[in-house]
């Protein structure tokens, strides 16, 4: 067996993510940011121009094998 790395689809060098909350417990990553303040600034912008949509700022790190072993 080979230890093959699967490329990540998300850019986890930017751990702060702005998520749009969708029906049936679904979510969509709108954007990723280096710091929390930038994410909240973008959230305020979206709240102003899309008041009917729900957004949330989250700190989103990838789950690795090492963290799975801790659980």
Give the pLDDT means over successive 10-residue stretches in the chain (71 positions).
54 88 95 96 97 96 65 56
Residue 31 domain-assigned?
yes
Count of structural domains, the chain: 1
Domain that holds residue 54: 16-61
Query: Is residue 69, in this structure, part of any structural domain at all?
Result: no
Torsion angle of the four alpha carbons 6, 15, 13, 63, in this order, in degrees rounded to the nearest 10: -30
Read off the pTM: 0.70
The counts of H helices and E strands in the chain are 2, 3
Q: Is residue 21 part of a domain?
A: yes
């Amino acid at each position: 067996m080979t230890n093959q790395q699967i490329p990540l689809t998300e850019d986890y060098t930017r751990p702060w993510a702005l998520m749009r909350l969708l029906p049936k417990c679904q979510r969509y990553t709108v954007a990723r940011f280096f710091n929390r303040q930038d994410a909240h600034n973008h959230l305020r912008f979206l709240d102003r121009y899309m008041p009917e949509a729900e957004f949330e700022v989250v700190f989103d790190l990838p789950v690795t094998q090492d963290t799975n072993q801790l659980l």
